Each structure stands twice: as structure tokens, then as C-alpha cells.
Amino acid sequence: MMTLLVAVLSFVGFIVAYNTYGRWLSRRIFRTDPAAVVPSIELRDDVDYVPTNRHVLFGHHFTSIAGTGPIVGPAIAVFWGWLPALLWVVLGSIFVGAVHDFAALVISLRNRGQTIGEVAGRLINPRARVLFLLILFFALTIVLAIFGLVIASIFTIYPESVLSVWIAMPVAVGVGLLVHRRQGALLIPSIAALAILYGSVLLGVYTEFFQLQLPAWLLIGASPVITWTVILMVYCFVASVLPVWVLLQPRDFINSHQLLVALGLLIAGFVVACLTGKADLAVSAPAIATVVPPDAPPMFPFLFITIACGACSGFHCLVSSGTSSKQISSETDAQFVGYGSMLLEGALAVLVILACCAGLGMGSITNTSGEWVPVLAENGSAVVGRDAWRNVYEADGSWASFSLGAKVGAFVQGGANFVNALGIPLKLGVGIIAVLVACFAATTLDTATRLQRYVIQELAGTLHIRPLSGKYGATLCAVTLGSLVAMIPGGPKEEAGMGGLILWPLFGATNQLLAGLAFLVLVFYLARRGLPVLFALIPAFAMSILPTAALLWQLFNSETGWFGHDKWLLTGFALAILALQAWMVLECVLLYPRIRGVLEEELQPLTPVHGGAG
């Protein structure tokens, strides 16, 4: 029962936080106004600026910020034990991550939907704007390279997921066109699309013909990773330049329903497994791990950057200020979309922790001759309880050897065990969870491409690079750079397509540094208006110091430091990001004493556009 109590207390905590702390932020600090003119109305173009029902927008926002972040991060972090991971997810989501996302959304809403980097130019100074945009550019390049690898890995390990991920795209376009032309509601068409999606899951799981793999003639350099990367980047180019109502909104709304179904199955299966005694957190994994490999990084500060999207993620400020602020139809929807989505992501991260510990403890599974069966120990007994957890997290005693597939697979296996507790075949449960992960990764990838397009356009306007100021040139630049970084080989004699994997250790720290910068922008926004800043200043300090300490450890520790082991790609990216971060923090420290109570320069009046949309 302790396992069930942990889950119940976590979920109740999120609900209470939304109705207390979230409401205080909305009503007392930001004073959201239902009568305020929002960017989706003021700048409506039916491409990027589109007033949207808050439930539809919640689906887009949540699936965009979630991706595989709240899955991969907690699946790694339980290596240090489930208790530290759980505490950071719950407390971090409530007091750090949700505040960060909500604030970025409101600040962008009140600045015509500008990205948080663009707003920094007026709240802090023009140099801060350029520095912030450059950090965003580096961070999004890493995101594009990494998530291409994530999806390619999922497609390789779980070929039954390929059909469902790709069939969701044309179905979403069809739904978007139908709803737009008939001006109807999105709910019924999206539910029908969800039925098609799960029908394709059944085909992928039970019909070998639909377990799609790349033919040999299509492989680039004999590597499926490179080929999938190219295909995905071509898709991302198209998705990024289309109006949001064509693909982005309907696809994310369908994915949000898919998530709700999957979460419902996971929660129901988890409850059944707990009540029947099959899931036992205390027996399955240590609360705090006492035996770790010698090459493992220290839990402090690495726990706080390993779990990013499940507790606080700088990437979220880009979604809040990059796409969601251009679609929200009322300021008062910001708490629901911004604060609420982050709490739901925290709930997902809690489920991932439970799946990777208590779920794995029900019996690890593997694919043997096409059948999903319990893993057996050498003596023929089933690998259950803590032995199953150790089989994934302590099998080879090496931190460096943890593969991306194993991290994702831990959640897929544990989650499938929960679903199986409901009587759903284990094989189908694996397919449902694998498709969930792959669809989320695809959502993050094309949203990141659109966000990178905005960043490149803003930088091009500042630096007067005309070819990159339009959406097609900026998008082409984004996908080309993402592809090139993803295709970097692992070494002189290693195959290409390892760039995303090489940069993975950099992702968590860069992501959290970005969150620290967004909090600095929030501090300046509050200080200029004479509002309380302590609730934002503490996480700003933490999200600046913790990832900086982690990056310095990764760069210079004597055993595996990048600088001393000729890892020049990681070293170059890390030093560039740290230098930009230090410069921007210095700008803020020097300027802060002079800005309290002094409002920033107002936005220039809009130039009327004749013949355009509203």
C-alpha cells in the first residue's frame, strides 16, 4: 500500500498546488485580465497567430513541452534511487517548473507573443537579447540533433511503433482541414483519429507486415539512424512552415487524447497491481541507492539536470513564448495552459519513476522470437523485485554504458507491466507505451524546429542576414544544422549519426541554464513593476548555479572530463554556452540596482496592414 500512497500523495499535491500557489500567481502577482487584448487577436494571421480554444491549446502545449523529456530523465535518475527523483519531480514541478512556464507565457502574452529572448532585449538590455538568442540557438540545435536520435532509436527497437507515428501525420492534417473548413469542434474528429491511431497500433503489434523497417536501398551510409534523421528533418521543414491549424494543433490534440488514454491505462493498471500486491516500490528498488559505479557523476548536482522536463526545463519557456502565447485567446487561460500543463507533466514523471521501479519489479520483459516473456535468471527463476531493477541499472556496473534504448526501454517495460495488470496482453501493452513515447518525441522535434525558425529569424533581423529573415530560409537553416550535428561520427573509426548521442550529456545542463536565464527575465519583469521577486529569485539562482557546477564537473573532472580526454565537440559547445551564460548574468547583476520600479521601453505601435487578416 505504500506504493499506492506515494502516488496518491503526489497527485493530490499537484491538484492542491494548482488551486493555491498557481491561483496566487495568476491573481495576485500577474493579475491576469480577461479583458486584455492578446497577441492571437491583435496580430491574427491564421498561420502562427490563431486564437484557440483553451482545451485544444492545452493539448498542443502539453504534448510540445512533454516529448520524451519526462520519460528519459526520470528513467535515468532512478539510478540514484526513487526517493530523490520523486522529491525533485513533485517539489520542482510546483515551485520551479510550473512558475517558469506560466511566467514565460504571461510575459510573452504582454509583449505581442515575442519569444522570451526577444523580450529580454527590452527588460534587460539589447546585448542580453542577442546573448539569450544565441544560447537558444545552441540549445535548439542540440534538441534537434538529440530527438532525431531518440525517434530513430525507438523505431529500431520497437518497429511496431513506426506505422502509428507516421499514420498520425496525414490523419491530423485531414482533421485540421476538415475542422477549419467547416468551422467545427475538434473533439469528435480527433477521437475518430485516435481510434485510427490505436487501430494502427494493433496492426503494428500483431502483423509483421506492418512492423515497418527501412529497406537496404534506402539506407544512407548503411545507417538507419542517418536515413531516419533525413526523413524526419524533411518532415520537420514541412511541419514548421505550415499554418498551426493544419498539422500542429490537430496532431497535438490527438496526441493529448492518446496520452490521456495511456495515462488512464497506466494509472488503472498501477492501482490494480498495487492492490493485488504485484507492484511494491520498497521491494523493487532502493529509495536511495548506496552502490553506484565509480564512473557515475555525483547525485548533487546531476539529479537536478538529469530530470529536467519532469521538474523544470528551459525548453518550456520557448514553447510558452514561441507558439502557445500566439494562440491563447484570453489571459486568464494562462494558468490552465502554462501552470497546469507543467503539473500534468510532473504527474507523468511520477508515473515514469513508478514504472521504472515498481513496474520493472513486476518482472522485466524482453522480445524472444517475437514473443514477450518474463526475463529469467540463470537458475531459471523469473527476474522480479529488486533483481529486475538491478538487471537494468546495475547489470554491467558502468554509468557510461547505459544506452539510450535501455533508458527508454525501462519505462516501456515497466509501463507495459502495469497495463498487463488490467488483463491487456503484454505484447500490446508494449506497443501502446512505445507508440506513446515515439509520438511525443516527434511532437518535440517539429515544435523545436518551429521555435528554432523564430530564433533564427530574430537573429537574422538583428544581424541583417536577409536570406534567413524569411520563414523558409530560417527553417531550412534549422533543419540543415540539426541534421549535420546529428550525423557527426562518434570517432575516427565509428559510424556517422552519433552527434545526438555525443551531445546528450550536454543537453540537461544547457536546458537548465536556459531555465535560469528565463527566471532572470522574470525577475527583471517583476522588479521593474515593484512586485515581489523572492519566489523567482531563488529558482533563478538554483537554475544558474546547479547546471554550471554540473558542466564544470563534466569538463574538468580528472577521470572522465571532456577537456582532458579530447572530446572537443562537447568541450566547444560547453565552453561557448558557459561564456554566453556568464556574460548575460554579469549584465543582469550590473544593471539590476538601477531598474527597480523603472518600466521598460514600450513596444512600438503596430503598423496597419491593409487587406490582411485582423
pLDDT single digits (tens) 508-537: 888 888 899 899 999 999 999 999 999 999
Identify the three-state secondary structure at position 383: coil
Element (H, E) at 74: helix 69-77
Query: Running DSSP on this structure, what letter comes out for residue 599?
Result: P
Please say whether the beta carbons of 546 and 88 come within 8 A.
Answer: no
> Which residue reads 520523486 in cell numbers?
86
The candidate with the shortest Cα–Cα distance to 329, out of 65, 113, 608, 30, is: 113
Query: Average model confidence (pLDDT) for the chain?
Result: 84
Q: Is the dihedral of CA 581, 296, 83, 265 positive or negative?
A: positive
φ/ψ region of 46 (left if φ > 0, alpha if ψ in -120 to 50, else beta) reads left
Query: What is the model's pLDDT at position 372?
Result: 45
All cell numbers assigned to 84: 530523490
371-374 and 365-368: which strand pairing? antiparallel
Query: What is the model's pLDDT at position 538?
Result: 96
Element (H, E) at 524: helix 499-528
Please say whether the beta carbons of 560 and 295 come within 8 A.
Answer: yes
Q: 154 pLDDT band (50/70/90 cuts)?
A: confident
Query: What is the model's pLDDT at position 475?
Result: 92
Residue length, the chain? Answer: 614
Query: What is the model's pLDDT at position 559?
Result: 78
Q: 490 pLDDT band (50/70/90 cuts)?
A: low
Give the DSSP letter string of 312-351.
--THHHHHHHHTGGGTBS-GGGHIIIIIHHHHHHHHHHHH
All cell numbers assigned to 188: 469528435
How far is 303 from 281, CA to CA, in rounded Å?
20
User: Is the pLDDT at 101 greater than 80, yes or no?
Assistant: yes
Domain ranges of the chain: 2-288+299-366+408-594
Higher pLDDT, 481 or 340: 340
Q: Is the dihedral of CA 595, 596, 598, 601 positive or negative?
A: positive
Mean pLDDT across 131-135: 82
Please say whether the beta carbons of 458 and 136 come within 8 A.
Answer: no
For the chain, give the percent of residues with pLDDT over 70.
87
Q: Any idea which fold 2-288+299-366+408-594 has?
A: Amino acid/polyamine transporter I (1.20.1740)
Q: What is the pTM of this model?
A: 0.87
Query: What is the model's pLDDT at position 564?
Result: 79
How far is 11 from 420, CA to CA, in rounded Å?
22
